[in-house]
Structure 1
């Protein structure tokens, strides 16, 4: 036990050779699983009766409705489901709801210009390339692309045909632009993140704490432009339909666990999974969000390294929302890579490498572990990484003060 504890503390077990080996193994597994799943499908319907790309079917159906001038129907579950069935020649596929703001219809419509398989390929490949490009730009090392591609959340996201690659690319890109002194571009990227508004709750806290006014302005103008364009192209009724649909999304999908408690990686979901009522679950989620906001406000107004600020914002953005699925953990790659970059430059402290390794592997395990044991492993690791980031910022500050004191004494 002492040997294991020492290895976890030092992180020496995580050698460069092991990182490459684990990454190649997981990447090979992902490629084989995806190829096998497609090969065993029947006209793009898998062995479980679900469309290949599952959740993408709602994007494609919404895109078809948009091209037919019926975008608002996507917010009506029976009409949306009817179109999803029509996409697959009337076969009885499961319902996958459309929950995005109206300006996201533009992306859906682009995918619907192609046959379903082509639209899915465009959706997955373009977003995956954007994610990988941002990861490589943040940490320009030879192994970055391998480790980022093998990240287990990538497999989960591809399997669900989801949009977490876009989310990670936009958030990671925005943080990179801030660091490079391009606040307006950063603001535009943050504004584009409004298609997943639940992940933007804490971003204003960080921007306000650090006084990034041009970025705030650019983000606000981008959101305003998106809304104005959607009004001009789609009309006002579609926004009315969107706001009406939010009740269904909140009550059925979130509060009643229609998605599955084991899939959602939040305090809210964990509390509901353990039998708590809705009010208690919201209270716990609110308490966590307020704690995260306080930690971020302190960190972003401090002199801490930008890498730590970026890492904390990425992990906190996942923790703050009650509705975060395991495929959304692609965003966790942003938190990991900024922390790793800081560690490579300034050294790693006790347990940091082991916690980072746990964060990297957890998307592969979180759903199964929660389903079998009700233990929210993804949530625990996320909270651990955020806490570790704040601890590192405090430790760096203490080391800096101690260094200045020694210089003064000399």
Structure 2
């Protein structure tokens, strides 16, 4: 019995086409019902538990209100920002902090021009297709832009039903934007390096996830993309300065110490929500210094692996998966809704596996990664086991080992399989 179980896990035979269609559909229906119940039980702008509908989106809306009042710098003043949240959602509203760089204030202001629920719907409605289209492009587009056969992902239910999608919608968060920028940036890196660089540079709106991007691009010699990414960062920063004045940067910088102390080090967000090595260490009783030390070791190891894989001739899908999963591991602050970023990683790996064949245990690992956002928070809260962080570490190690393990074979062929190439011995990379 045990041997048959391990064989099924190794070969992935348990993950049949029928299960890929049916199980995600069940999760999707459950997610829709949960969202419907939340809305049905809400009172005005607040859910039944008294928190704003879309919880974290309330901080975006409040920051936008301050911008429209000509008080952009006050978005980083916790008292002023909380006053606006309480004015909109009621005096019992807890504080949802605004921690984004000034370039994101323009988006907040545009959304604040609408009533709150309309703004929330517009934000999720505009960014969800970006995530979905990036996945579609990854699984069905070759480097030259031609369509190619790809996995149907259970008629796309597996993509839409990915539990991180539901968590992101419930929190009104920006995971779809982050995942879409990552997904399209990597998808277009070979064919449209300048556009890809601009998209990857736009990740500066959430800078903790952009730590590894410059390392990967430099290691891969993607110089046009590097230049475009730098231009995007400088351009967005200059635009924010022109719109809101230089004082907004000073206010942002001044707020970072309080954000680091309260939100990260003291765990005001809740350790069970944060899926990082730092949070896992703090939840298990480690002091701040030890937690930072462990996070630094993991971040350095992840960065080194990213450089090695991106310098190698490994298939591009391995490089993409390493960068995407590594970006979540390299920061001390990443929540379960940020796991939407794993959607493009799963798509890259699934596309490669269906083209070249899956490695032992790969199908089962992809299924585990897919379901993890649904149970990571609950598992951490109930047992103290940092399931989300552990699964991220396993995925990263698997992708890095697979990418680096294929170097010898690739060197013998003298070829690097470009993204979407037919078969393991694809055409030589143009880089």
**TM alignment of 1:250-289, pairs within 5 A:** 250-289=260-299
Partners of 2:305 and 2:400 within 8 A in 1: yes
**TM alignment of 1:91-110, pairs within 5 A:** 91-110=91-110
Residue of structure 1 aligned with 2:169, choices 158, 183, 195? 158
Q: CA deviation at 1:400?
A: 4.8
Local SS of the residue matching 1:387: helix
Partners of 1:132 and 1:145 within 8 A in 2: no
Q: CA deviation at 1:399?
A: 4.7
Q: CA deviation at 1:241?
A: 0.7
Partners of 1:135 and 1:145 within 8 A in 2: no
The corresponding residue for 1:35 is: 36
Q: CA deviation at 1:44?
A: 2.1
Local SS of the residue matching 1:178: coil
The answer to whether residue 9 in structure 2 is matched with residue 8 in structure 1 is: yes
Partners of 2:309 and 2:404 within 8 A in 1: no
The corresponding residue for 2:135 is: 135
The corresponding residue for 1:145 is: 156
The corresponding residue for 2:337 is: 327
Q: CA deviation at 1:203?
A: 0.9
The corresponding residue for 1:356 is: 366
Q: In 2, distance between residues paired with 1:395 and 1:354?
A: 20
**TM alignment of 1:112-131, pairs within 5 A:** 112-131=112-131
Looking at secondary structure, tell me which structure has more helix per residue.
1
Write the deviation string for residues 293-352 of structure 1: whole angstroms up to 9, x where unpaired: 111111111111011101110000000000000100000112111111111110011111
Local SS of the residue matching 1:139: helix
Q: CA deviation at 1:236?
A: 1.2
The corresponding residue for 2:145 is: none
Write the deviation string for residues 58-110 of structure 1: whole angstroms up to 9, x where unpaired: 0011111111101111111111111011123x442111000000110111111
Partners of 1:265 and 1:326 within 8 A in 2: yes
The corresponding residue for 1:170 is: 181
Partners of 2:314 and 2:410 within 8 A in 1: no
Local SS of the residue matching 2:189: helix
The corresponding residue for 1:407 is: none
Alpha-carbon RMSD across the aligned residues, in angstroms, is 1.3
Local SS of the residue matching 1:13: coil
Q: Which runs of 5+ in 2 are unaligned?
A: 141-149, 415-431
- With normalisation by structure 1, the TM-score equals 0.96
Q: In 1, distance between residues paired with 2:156 and 2:358?
A: 22
Partners of 2:324 and 2:345 within 8 A in 1: yes
Partners of 2:325 and 2:345 within 8 A in 1: yes
Q: In 1, distance between residues paired with 2:103 and 2:219?
A: 29
